[in-house]
Structures are given as C-alpha cells and as structure tokens.
Amino acid sequence: MSSEKLRATKVGVAYVVEQKQEQNYDREEEAGVPQAVICWINAVLDGEHDKIPGGDWKSFCNHIKDGVMICKLINKLLKSDSKSPVPFQKKVMSPFVALTNIENFNNGCKAYGMPQESTFASVDLQEGRKAGFYNVLTTLHSLGFFANSKEFMPAYTGELSKCLDRE
C-alpha cells in the first residue's frame, strides 16, 4: 500500500471505475478464481517455469509481470493447436521488454482464437494495480475455458476445490 501512496490519487469517474474493478477482483477472489487460474497455469507449465508461489494478487501479479510465464503458457496452448509460438525474451531487464512479452502473449491469445476483447491491456499487468490486474485475471480465466473448448489437458476447472485436491 505504501507504493500506491506515491501515485496521484484518482478522482471522479476514474476513482469510481478503479474501486469497482477492485470490488470485482475481490468477488472473483472470494469465488476462488485466482487460485484456480494459478493451479491451472502451474499444472500446464509443470517443470518448465517456477510455480506461482501464492494466491494473493500481488504475488500472482509480480510472478507473471515480466510476461515470460504467460508467453510459455500461450505457447503450450498454441503448440497443442498446431500453431506457431509467440516470441518472447526470457531475460527481462527493462519494462519495455516486459511490455513486449505481454503484447506477444495477447497476440498469441488472438492467434489461438480468442477474441481481441478477451485480452487485457499490457499496462494492466505492468502497473501492478489491483484494479488493472482484474482484467489480467479475467483474460487468464477466459483462456482456461477457451482451452477447454479445444480439449487441452490439463483441463481448467475454474474451481478452487479441484486445485487443492491435487496438491
């Protein structure tokens, strides 16, 4: 919270929108969506990337913020669909490289068949704000169900209880 104090405070409509998105994230968190998404990503990338360590939104956001893990995720999905992988840089030394990785992930989602409207803006992940991260969560949640429609395994359950049973 202290880093958020350094930013300018939003007012008016921008404040209302941000508060609404944070409430939406809280509602999804209560339903177990972030844990289900984390469980699915960890299962898909088992052994190919460090697991997302925790279920709180900050840990989740910080773990995928450089775009590497989500690029690996979309590349697994693209490969299973006989499509070309997206390029990404594994060593992220600047925010610009991270933004490029995130954009490549979004392009991979579109190549996989997801509609443009289902992707998030790169800054939603890069800024590290809970309100923006709601959009990231929504994209990953939708991606899981979209992968299910293509019979990708491991299947995305969208349910917290199934994830906890595997660990």
Mean pLDDT by 10 residues, the chain (167 residues): 52 78 85 93 95 90 96 98 97 94 98 96 93 94 96 86 44
Residue 91 and residue 112: Cα distance in Å, rounded? 25
Considering the domain delimited by 2-166, tell me its CATH architecture.
Orthogonal Bundle (1.10)
pLDDT of residue 10: 65
Q: Which of 104, 100, 106 is nearest to 119 (CA)?
A: 106
pLDDT of residue 2: 42
Residue 23 and residue 14: Cα distance in Å, rounded? 14
pLDDT of residue 1: 42
pLDDT of residue 16: 79
Domain boundaries, the chain: 2-166
